[in-house]
Amino acid sequence: MKLSDLLQQNECEWLDFKQEFHGNNVKLLHDIICLANAKTDKDRYLLFGIDDNKTIVGIENDKNKKNSAGIQDLLKNSNFNRIPKVRLDYIKSQNNHEVARLKISNKPDKPYFLTKDKQYGKDILRAGVVYTRIGDTNIPLKESAPEDHIEQMWIERFGINLSPLQRMEKLLDQTDAWEEIGADGNLYHRDFPEYKIVDGEELNSNFIEDWTEKFPDHHASSFYVELWHNNTLLKKCAFVWVDGARYKVPLPERIADGKWRIKKSSIEFKIAKLYNQQPLEKILPTKVVEIE
């Protein structure tokens, strides 16, 4: 999110303003954990160089200013159960001040907590305690997140509140957990075998597009890949065997004459990662099939 857009918002569950960087790493970690665990469906932001009135004061002279490597090292060395995904970048404002924007990605890995105490002076981040942010206020270091908030974090972690198709999409991210059913290439999830991926009906035994002819073997065929939960068909996805059935790739979306596209956010892209040892970017002729 752009700095100008963030400054139009008030502090809330997903946004916190700081006039300067923390001199105390425990307090910095506390802010990161509280934002990462907050009850919201947005990415979260911690802005440095903004005072309480949302005036840009800058951090160019801040003696505690940190770089991206320093933030990553702090997280790696703080004994997290799971390390939040963060990104720190610096932005020049219109009044020529420098602002630091720490983005904390919204991921279903909550709750985040430490497995060992982290102390700086009298401040202690306690091991096993779940901190969060409610409204514009962090849960204090000596307290814990309310039980109902912690419950929602675990529900999100395990996908209990998801529909079967949403749960399937979440399970597709666990690439190492899918195993073959026999020798026919169909797959099931090792821990949740009621979720299966099977080849469906053939669509075209002689599929021809400009992009399929870029392979050494021009022969291709299209077919459906079916996603199942128990005996319920959740979704059909169009795929193509290319290069003489060497690779199994999603049917790209045509975006212009001679141009096709596959979105990385699509469920088809996730399925393709299970089928192929190489990434699609190396398999497909990316000059005509964009991967974005």
The closest alpha carbon to 285, from 235, 215, 236, 189, belongs to: 215
Q: Within this chain, do residues 182 and 146 fall inside the same structural domain, yes or no?
A: no
Question: pLDDT at position 161, please?
Answer: 84
- Last residue of some domain: 158, 176, 207? 158
pTM of the complete model: 0.69
Q: Which two tokens stand for residue 234?
A: 């959740």
How far, in Å, CA of 89 to CA of 281, rounded? 27
What is the total count of domains within the chain?
2
Question: pLDDT at position 94, please?
Answer: 81
Question: pLDDT at position 124, please?
Answer: 98
Cα 44–Cα 16–Cα 51 angle in degrees, nearest 5: 145
DSSP-assigned beta bridge partners for residue 180: 187
Question: pLDDT at position 183, please?
Answer: 72
- Last residue of some domain: 158, 180, 201? 158
Q: Within this chain, do residues 170 and 135 fall inside the same structural domain, yes or no?
A: no
Task: Compute the Cα dihedral for 69, 74, 79, 82 and give only its sign.
Answer: negative
| Strand spans (E) along the chain | 15-18, 44-48, 86-92, 98-104, 118-120, 123-125, 133-134, 137-138, 178-181, 186-189, 195-204, 221-229, 232-242, 247-250, 253-256, 259-262, 289-291
Domain coverage including residue 106:
3-158
- Last residue of some domain: 102, 125, 158? 158
Q: Within this chain, do residues 143 and 58 fall inside the same structural domain, yes or no?
A: yes
Question: pLDDT at position 95, please?
Answer: 85
118 secondary structure, DSSP code: E
pLDDT by residue for the chain (292 residues), tens only, comes to 899 999 999 999 999 999 999 999 999 999 999 999 999 999 999 999 999 889 999 999 999 999 999 999 999 999 999 999 999 999 998 889 999 999 999 998 999 999 999 999 999 999 999 999 999 999 999 999 999 999 999 999 888 888 999 999 989 999 999 999 877 789 999 989 999 999 999 999 999 999 999 999 999 999 999 999 999 999 999 999 999 999 999 999 999 999 999 999 999 999 999 999 999 999 999 899 999 9
Question: pLDDT at position 79, please?
Answer: 98
How far from 1 is each of 9, 29, 136, 253, CA to CA, in Å?
A: 11, 22, 19, 28
Q: Within this chain, do residues 145 and 180 fall inside the same structural domain, yes or no?
A: no
Q: Within this chain, do residues 135 and 253 fall inside the same structural domain, yes or no?
A: no
User: Residue 51 in contact with residue 16, Cβ under 8 Å?
Assistant: no
